[in-house]
Every structure is written in structure tokens, then in C-alpha cells.
């Protein structure tokens, strides 16, 4: 995942956002303000957290009206407090108003993800365990969701089905066994991709070890089962723990000798960051 958001990667998403919100025009603003009217506004935080999404605000206004000027006061990854000015927007009043909700929607989602990720990483208190995201993202928003996780201090797992092999329960059932699934992958790709295997119990853990999986995911195990699996695996391969992870579960397992914790709720259950746009009087 890139350290910046490239406009080419999100242009279609922004066009869709503009189309669904503005369509034939902002009829309220167009009725109240003359085309030559100009205004200045600020995007303000209403809570503490991690800021993310500044590039999206710039791209939104570039595509709505190139005459609008966007200035950053905070940068992605900055810790921000309440009532802090994040960005200023100036230009034709109708255009500034037309882009308000679209710009805020992007910031609210991305800053919400970055803030939650930061808090969870802080809970780990263990630099040896990396917090991973998942593919449980809003359709069309994967690049942005994963960028926000990275901004908050998390690590991006695979972007899609194309950049890493993950053998999950349904692959295992359809193939007949972990051994057969891993063998078929290696026959096709050799060592081109890392192979991660999902294991639900100790028998599957032992089979994944025996076939030489690069990473073993302990999926939805209780803590005693996790501890037993870690004892079986440790030093033989990498260990990921997954399955409805939340802050309370992470507190209970953060001292285990594991490498990764994956957390789908970072992106599938986002609490929006509270911010607003206010015009100068």
C-alpha cells in the first residue's frame, strides 16, 4: 500500500460520489448565491484522534471546480484535538458548498479508521505483534480503508485475492485437506507467493506445520486453544490470530508469543470521526 493516495486510483470513486450527491447541481446554493460570490471555510475537528484523508479533499475540489483553493493545516497521521482547524477551503461559494458533504464523508471514514487503529495498536503494548487489516472493506473503498489503517499504525494484509495465498476453511473442505490444498498451490506457483493456512483446531495446526505453511492463522480459537497452538507452532512458522477481534480480546492475548493479530472491524464497522465545515462569517 502506497504512503500517499494517487488521484488516478480514486478518480472513479470521486466521480461516483459527485454524481450521487450533486447530479444536476446544488439547487439550494445556486438559488442563494451568485456565480461570482466567494467564501472561505475551515474543516474543524470535533473530537481527538488521528487525521486522515487530506488528499481526498483536494481531489474532490479539483474535480468539482479547479478555482477552489485547499490548504492543509494538519497532515495525515497527525494527532489532533477538539476544535482544531484541519484544512481551509476558499473559492466560489457554490462550489465550496457543493463539495462540503463529499469531502467530509471521506475524512470522517478515513480518520475514524485511523483513530481506531491507533488506539488498538496502543493497546498491544508489544512491538513484536503487528495489527493487520483484512479484506472486509467497503466495496470501492479498499485502497482508502487500507491507507487509513496504515496511517493509524496498522499493517496492510493482502490487498486482494491476487497478491498472497490464503487457504481458508472452504478451500480446505473443497480440496479435501490442508495438505492437498497447499500441495496444489505449490505445484502451480512454486515459491512465488507466501502461503497462509487457516487452522481451526490442533489437528489442523499440526497438518499446516507438517506441510510447511509460511503463516498459520489461528481462527476463532479460545485462549487455552491458542496457547496450545502457539506451543506447537512457535519458531516453526509465523502465527496470526483472528476471529471477531476487539479491544477486550486483544488485552487478553497481547502477551502471547504471536506475530500478527488481524481485525476486520477496523474497516467493516467504522465509527465516523466527528468533524465539520464552518464558513467565515
Cα–Cα distance measured from residue 243 to residue 82, given in angstroms and rounded to the nearest whole number: 34
Closest CA to 78 of 47, 46, 111: 111
SS3 label, residue 172 = helix
Domains of the chain: 7-117+270-279 (3.90.1170.20), 120-268 (3.20.20.70)
Report the Cα 26 to chain-centroid distance in Å. 31
Whether 53 and 111 have beta carbons less than 8 Å apart is answered as yes
281 band by pLDDT with thresholds 50, 70 and 90: low
> To the nearest whole number, what is the mean pLDDT of the chain?
96
Q: What is the mean pLDDT of residues 120-137?
A: 92
Q: What is the dihedral of CA 76, 159, 262, 109, to 10 degrees?
A: 40
- pLDDT number for residue 234: 84
pLDDT above 90 (res 1): no
- Predicted confidence band at 125 (pLDDT cuts at 50, 70, 90)? confident
Amino acid at each position: 500500500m502506497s504512503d500517499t493516495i494517487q488521484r488516478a486510483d480514486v478518480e472513479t470513486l470521486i466521480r461516483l460520489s459527485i454524481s450521487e450527491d450533486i447530479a444536476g447541481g446544488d439547487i439550494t446554493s445556486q438559488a442563494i448565491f451568485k456565480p461570482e460570490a466567494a467564501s472561505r471555510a475551515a474543516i474543524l475537528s470535533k473530537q481527538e484522534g488521528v487525521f486522515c484523508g487530506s488528499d481526498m479533499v483536494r481531489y474532490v475540489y479539483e474535480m468539482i471546480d479547479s478555482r477552489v483553493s485547499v490548504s492543509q493545516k494538519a497532515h495525515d497521521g497527525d494527532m489532533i484535538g477538539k476544535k482544531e482547524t484541519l484544512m481551509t477551503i476558499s473559492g466560489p461559494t457554490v462550489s465550496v458548498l457543493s463539495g462540503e458533504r463529499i469531502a467530509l464523508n471521506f475524512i470522517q471514514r478515513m480518520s475514524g479508521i485511523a483513530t481506531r487503529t491507533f488506539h488498538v495498536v496502543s493497546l498491544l503494548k508489544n512491538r513484536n505483534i503487528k495489527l493487520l487489516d483484512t479484506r472486509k472493506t467497503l466495496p470501492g473503498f479498499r485502497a482508502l480503508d487500507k491507507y487509513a489503517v496504515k496511517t493509524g499504525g496498522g499493517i496492510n494484509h493482502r490487498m486482494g485475492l491476487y497478491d498472497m495465498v490464503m487457504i481458508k476453511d472452504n478451500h480446505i473442505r473443497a480440496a479435501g485437506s490442508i495438505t492437498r490444498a497447499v500441495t496444489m498451490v505449490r505445484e502451480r506457483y512454486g515459491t512465488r507467493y507466501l502461503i497462509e493456512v487457516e487452522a481451526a483446531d490442533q489437528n489442523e495446526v499440526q497438518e499446516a506445520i507438517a506441510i510447511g505453511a509460511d503463516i498459520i492463522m489461528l481462527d476463532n480459537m479460545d485462549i487455552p486453544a491458542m496457547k496450545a497452538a502457539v506451543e506447537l507452532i512457535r519458531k516453526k512458522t509465523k502465527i496470526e490470530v483472528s476471529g471477531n477481534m476487539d479491544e477486550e480480546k486483544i488485552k487478553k492475548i497481547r502477551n502471547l508469543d504471536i506475530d500478527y493479530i488481524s481485525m476486520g472491524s477496523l474497516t467493516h464497522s467504522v465509527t465516523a470521526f466527528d468533524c465539520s465545515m464552518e464558513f467565515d462569517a
